[in-house]
Amino acid sequence: MEINPAVTFKHDRSIMYAKRPKVLIVGAGLGGLTLGTLLHKANIPFKIYERASEVKPIGLAMYFHGTTANLFKQCGIYDEFVSSGKFVSAINVCNEQREIQYKIDFQGHNELFGANGYIISRPKIYDLFARQVPKEHIHFGKKVLSMENGGNGVLIRFSDGTEAEGDILVGADGAYSAVRQCLYAKMKKANTLPNFDSQPLPFSTVCLVGQTRVLTPDEFPDIALEECQFRNVVGDNRPYAWSTFTTKQGTVCWICVQYLDDESSKENDAFRNSEWGPEAAAAMAAQVRDFPVVSGGNKKLTLGDLIDWTPKEFMSKAMQEEKVFKTWFDCRTVLIGDACHKFNPAGGVGASNAMHDALVLANLINGLPFHPIASEIEAAFMAYKRERYHRVMDAYESSKIFKAMAGQKTMAKVVRFCVKNMPQWVFHRVQIQTTGYRPQVAFLPLVEDTGRVRPAPQPSLSVMSPDDSKNNVEKVDSTPVAAAAI
């Protein structure tokens, strides 16, 4: 196939059979799997290519609430998600003496936003979405070496000597996205890449994450409680903060974050990678073993106990980059999730925003005409970024606040004081801003959003499929009627 941005043949759709664009997705993380799930339901041809040979059960717990509940319900997985998760009513912020300093209360979310929040382990939520995509659509061991992006299609070449052709290329391959790097290299050569996007990913924290084996209430009493015990400990005069979360499966997920100064940043700079090897994890684990954790009982446990209960393959050290890129697409190539916006995990919104990206992009791809040309595809990508960018920036700023809240600098102490003493009406406004965006899939039956707070506008929900457009089917406005009450 000739990939040339200057060459496109003239379409006469009146004599062509109906053909949906073929989508190539690089990256089998939650963003890529969500997109694959939705394209499968829309009967749009797609393939997912993952560089790893297998999925590792690494990672801590993830928090999902009303912003993704509608998506889960439309995909028919909400009940299983709830049964695998633990309800979260509050975050308890503690000191090193294991005393609760204050709570961030999430009571009333079901009434306000139509769904409660749940903590679920990363392997569980990953497995749930992986089962929605037919296995023949996912190919492992596919490391991208290069890509061509032109008027007639896209072509990607892999390290094993194979190639893949399609109409749309989606980079869902993380903070160090190979798709983004290939795209940006070509744009930089053409002098069309903003200088901001060519700069290295900035970072100010690194973290150690893990998930224990199944524990008994005698070992960790909080395990026996019905609700998830979400506890965050801020270090006393040391640049660390750490959190623990109990899961439905009887494990404890944990994370320890180190706040870097100029010297420690230089030490970590050589590791610019999203995931490091076991040696790096072991080295950091040795440094944080004595950090106290709250278990809910009389036992005075430490991170060392959790580390000892954590299988080595369930523990990793990672760099926490933070950046929202300006360039999200070019021609037939588009980026989603960490490939175009990387948040600090303190805000807990990285996975949900990747899913929102996938949902909006799926709506717009589904709305493309049969045999779309490059300009039509690029117009859809532009609409995708227009809907998502300001939402992403809000999440980015929110994540920075949560990160600062657990630090040791003066600003961190000011933020903690403000959160601790925040009037309820102000907290209510903050919750509306962070939970008001509850998007739905345009081509699946809409679900009733029972939240008292009306969902934020969603332009892509009014996008029609080519069949709907051909038959002049009129799409209902973007918000389900049942959600109109405030």
Q: What is the pLDDT of residues 93-106, one digit of tens each?
A: 899 999 988 888 88
pLDDT at 485: 28
Average pLDDT over residues 14-37: 89
* pLDDT tens-place string over residues 127-174: 999 999 999 999 999 999 999 988 789 999 999 999 999 999 999 999
Q: C-alpha angle 39/44/49, rounded to 5°?
A: 65
Residues in CB range of 87: below 8 A, 6 or more apart: 116, 117, 118, 226, 227, 228
The pLDDT score that the predictor gives to residue 14 is 54
Measured distance CA(436)–CA(395) in Å, rounded: 12
Q: Residue 289 corresponds to which amino acid?
A: R
Closest-CA residue to 464 (of 474, 455, 454): 474
For CA atoms 220, 223, 227, 229, the dihedral sign is positive
* Domains recognised in the chain with CATH numbers: 13-55+118-199+323-483 (3.50.50.60)
Span 409-439, pLDDT tens digits = 666 667 767 767 777 766 677 777 778 899 9
Chain centre distance of CA 197? 20
Q: Tens of pLDDT along 190-219?
A: 999 999 999 988 888 899 999 999 999 999
Residues 6+ positions from 459 with CB-CB distance below 8 Å? 383, 386, 387, 478
- Which 3 state secondary structure label does DSSP give 284? helix
Give me the residue label for tokens 């707070």. 453
- Residue 115 CA to residue 87 CA, distance in Å, equals 11
CA-closest candidate to residue 97, choices 270, 233, 251: 233
pLDDT score, position 346: 72
End-to-end CA distance of the chain: 54
Contact between 98 and 300 under an 8 Å Cβ cutoff? The reply is: yes
- Distance from chain centroid for Cα 99: 32
What value does the mean pLDDT of the chain take?
Answer: 86
Cβ count near 333 (within 10 Å): 28
Phi, psi values for residue 24, rounded to 5°? -105, 120
Q: pLDDT over 90 for what percent of the chain? A: 63
Alpha carbons within 13 A on the beta-carbon side of 48: 27
Contact 322, 203 (CB under 8 A): yes
Least trusted range by pLDDT, from 2-6, 62-66, 139-143, 231-235: 2-6
Burial annotation 51-81 (CB, 10 A radius, 16+ → b, else e): beeeeeebbbbbbbbbbbbbbbbbbebbeeb
Contact, 59 vs 123, CB < 8 A? Answer: yes
Sheet holding 86-87: strands in order across?
A: 61-64, 118-121, 86-87
pLDDT value of position 295:
94
Residue by residue, DSSP assigns 391-425 as HHHHHHHHHHHHHHHTSSSHHHHHHHHHHHT--HH
**What sign does the dihedral 291-294-300-306 (CA atoms) show?**
negative
Signed CA dihedral, 448, 449, 455, 459: sign only:
negative
pLDDT over threshold 80, residue 469: no
Q: Which two tokens stand for residue 171?
A: 């980079």
Phi, psi of 476 (to 5 degrees): -70, 155
Write 382-385 long-range contacts (CB < 8 A, 24+): 382/329, 383/459, 383/460, 384/328, 384/329, 384/334, 384/357, 384/360, 384/460, 385/328, 385/329
Strand partners, 442: none
Instruction: Give the global pTM.
Output: 0.89
Rounded CA-CA distance 428/425 in Å is: 5
What is the pLDDT, as a whole number, of residue 473? 41
Strand, helix or coil for residue 249: coil
In this predicted structure, the answer to whether residue 351 has a pLDDT above a threshold of 60 is yes
Say how far apart CA 406 and CA 93 lie, in whole Å. Answer: 9
